[in-house]
């Protein structure tokens, strides 16, 4: 009940943060500069891909493939999560290797699989670009460097907040017609039989903990997740609990993109052993099947769809079968 109350109390916070998102950029702000950098391929070795190549705006700044392709078509190793609703997060990347948005912003640039650009080269390019040299002087009153590059990119990411979904209309504005009766039942399943509330709560429907949902078996599923960072055995298979806002348009799902639809995700949580029978270190929350009925699964899916910000509703049919 406590976590349920957290959702209702804190949803209003997101509305305040989201007021500036997606407006025309002001060239004199750090966020506007970060916006331009986010979409500019100047930050990749080949100058052919940008942050936005993998974080596609129309899909809530996520990707539509299981893993993204970096410079020269290099295949990534994990699914690209949404870059939205990051302001309240305390850990970044699936394994939590970064603890601030500023740290996170510079890592993909230097990753040899992703943008493959040494930070010194990135800074040199910006310092020798007339537009960026002037823009950084205007915003930060200094030449481009690693620190203010990170500040600009993270400032833009902090504008990417969403809080204008049918669910918000229903719960915050008391608009009973905003969502279907099925979605309302799904919200009840989310909070009770589905056990989802145990890990997904608050304004963005996530948690600061790392959990293992059973997608590690040392055989076919070999990504050890959080353990890659901590080197602790009890972190094997644990990953960051992602936010659920806009989840209906951020397929495919999980750290490896193994599930193509929300229904596949729900089916997995309903009975993990049917899909990954010999997982290692799976959370006790998923020890027993949920035994959801087909109607309850449909209702739960419709609730998750109701978390889609209104600006993305037109993209729902592009991602749902």
Q: How far apart are CA 104 and CA 151, in angstroms?
A: 11
Asked if residue 141 belongs to a known ligand binding site, the reply is no
Asked if residue 228 belongs to a known ligand binding site, the reply is no
Asked if residue 5 belongs to a known ligand binding site, the reply is no
Sequence-distant (6+) residues with CB within 8 A of 28 are 138, 139
Q: How far apart are CA 270 and CA 293, in angstroms?
A: 9
Q: Where are the beta strands (DSSP E) in the chain?
A: 210-211, 239-240
Q: How far apart are CA 260 and CA 14, in angstroms?
A: 28
Q: How far apart are CA 157 and CA 165, in angstroms?
A: 19
93: left (phi over 0), alpha (psi -120 to 50) or beta: left
Q: Hey, what are 170's tokens?
A: 């229903």
Asked if residue 54 belongs to a known ligand binding site, the reply is yes
Centre a 10 Å sphere on the Cβ of residue 296 and count the other Cβ atoms it contains.
Answer: 19
What values do phi and psi take at 122, rounded to 5?
A: -60, -45
Q: Hey, what are 144's tokens?
A: 């481009």
Is 110 buried (19+), middle (13-18) or exposed (0-12) by CB count in 10 A? middle
Q: How far apart are CA 314 and CA 222, in angstroms?
A: 36
What values do phi and psi take at 290, rounded to 5?
A: -85, -25
Write out the binding residues: 51, 54-55, 196, 199-200
Write out the binding residues for heme c: 51, 54-55, 196, 199-200
């Amino acid at each position: 009940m406590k976590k349920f109350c957290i959702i209702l109390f804190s949803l209003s916070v997101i509305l305040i943060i989201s007021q500036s998102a997606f407006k025309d950029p002001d060239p004199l702000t750090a966020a506007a500069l970060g916006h331009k950098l986010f979409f500019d391929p100047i930050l990749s070795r080949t100058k052919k891909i940008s942050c936005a190549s993998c974080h596609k705006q129309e899909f809530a700044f996520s990707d539509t493939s299981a893993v993204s392709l970096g410079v020269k078509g290099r295949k990534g190793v994990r699914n690209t999560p949404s870059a939205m609703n990051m302001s309240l997060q305390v850990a970044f990347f699936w394994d939590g290797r970064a603890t601030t948005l500023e740290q996170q912003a510079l890592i993909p640039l230097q990753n040899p699989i992703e943008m493959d650009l040494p930070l010194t080269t990135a800074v040199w390019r910006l310092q020798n670009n007339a537009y960026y040299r002037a823009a950084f002087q205007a915003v930060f009153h200094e030449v481009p460097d690693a620190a203010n590059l990170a500040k600009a990119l993270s400032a833009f990411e902090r504008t990417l907040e969403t809080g204008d979904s049918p669910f918000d209309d229903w719960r915050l504005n008391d608009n009973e017609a905003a969502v279907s009766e099925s979605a309302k039942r799904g919200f009840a399943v989310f909070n009770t039989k589905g056990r989802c509330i145990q890990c997904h709560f608050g304004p963005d429907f996530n948690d600061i903990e790392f959990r293992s949902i059973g997608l590690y078996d040392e055989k076919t599923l070999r990504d050890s997740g959080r353990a890659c960072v901590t080197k602790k055995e009890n972190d094997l298979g644990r990953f960051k609990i992602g936010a659920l806002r806009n989840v209906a348009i951020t397929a495919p799902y999980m750290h490896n993109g193994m599930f193509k639809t929300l229904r596949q995700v729900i089916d997995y949580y309903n009975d993990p052993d049917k899909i990954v029978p010999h997982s290692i270190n799976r959370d006790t929350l998923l020890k027993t099947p949920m035994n959801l009925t087909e109607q309850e699964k449909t209702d739960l899916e419709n609730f998750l769809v109701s978390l889609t910000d209104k600006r993305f509703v037109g993209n729902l049919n592009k991602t749902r079968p």
